[in-house]
Structure formats: structure tokens, C-alpha cells
């Protein structure tokens, strides 16, 4: 069966409109709720209390799983921050080395050629 461009575009548009199946992993659910979970922590709720609330809402999750999933986010942020700090340190060192090279080459140019 052959199709023209218009038919393919029509099929493509229909495929894009198909909603996602409502099957999310526990991790995906926690990721979608992470701002709300963080807000509850700031309000003084602990992981066990937050877990109980989520369980009452139908999410089958343990406190240790929730703790692990929220810790992964925190670790990822810390690692990203460490990488940024490392990048900044490398840039600073490179800039300092470039400056020293420039200064030493300027000293070389300033010397009297007859002294060499």
C-alpha cells in the first residue's frame, strides 16, 4: 500500500494525540510529586508521614523506597553542583596559567636581543 505525504502526516498527527497509558513507575510518580514532597518536608513532615499519606492515596510505596527516590534527586543535584564547581576551578586555573604564560612571554620580548 502506498501513501502520500498528506496521509502520513495525518497518521502522525493521530499518533501524537494518543495519550500515555496510565502506568507510571513508582519512581516516575515520586518525580512528578517531588515539589509537593519537598514542600511537605519544609512544613515539618517526615518521610514516614509523607509515605502514609501517599499510601492512603493508593500509591503502594514504602518509606525506604520514598527515601531512596528522594535521596537520588538530592545526590544528583549535589553531583551537578560539584561538577559546576570543578568546571569553575578548571577555568580559573586555565585563566591563571594563560596569564602567567602571557606575562613570561612578555618578559622574554622585553629582553635585549644582544644579551641572548
Q: How many CB atoms lie within 10 A of CB 30?
A: 21
Q: What is the pLDDT of residue 13?
A: 95
Residue entry with cell 515539618: 44
pLDDT in tens, 69-113: 988 655 555 566 666 777 788 888 888 888 877 777 665 555 555
What's the confidence (pLDDT) of residue 36? 96
User: In the predicted model, what is the mean pLDDT of residues 13-33?
Assistant: 90
> Domain residues of the chain, as ranges?
20-110
The residue ranking higher by pLDDT, 92 or 42, is 42
Are the C-beta atoms of residues 50 and 66 closer than 8 Å to each other?
yes
Distance of CA 64 to the CA centre of its chain: 23
Q: Give me the pLDDT at residue 11, please.
A: 94
In terms of Cα–Cα distance, which of 89, 86, 24, 31 is closest to 58? 24
> What crossing angle do the helices spanning 26-42 and 47-56 adopt, rounded to 10°?
130
Amino acid at each position: 500500500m502506498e501513501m502520500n505525504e498528506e496521509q502520513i502526516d495525518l497518521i502522525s498527527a493521530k499518533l501524537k494525540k494518543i495519550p500515555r497509558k496510565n502506568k507510571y513507575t513508582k519512581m516516575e510518580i515520586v518525580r512528578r510529586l517531588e515539589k509537593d514532597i519537598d514542600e511537605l518536608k519544609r512544613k515539618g513532615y517526615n518521610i514516614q508521614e509523607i509515605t502514609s499519606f501517599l499510601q492512603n492515596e493508593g500509591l503502594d510505596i514504602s518509606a525506604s523506597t520514598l527515601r531512596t527516590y528522594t535521596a537520588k534527586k538530592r545526590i544528583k543535584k549535589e553531583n551537578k553542583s560539584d561538577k559546576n564547581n570543578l568546571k569553575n576551578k578548571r577555568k580559573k586555573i586555565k585563566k591563571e596559567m594563560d596569564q602567567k604564560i602571557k606575562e613570561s612571554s612578555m618578559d622574554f620580548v622585553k629582553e635585549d636581543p644582544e644579551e641572548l
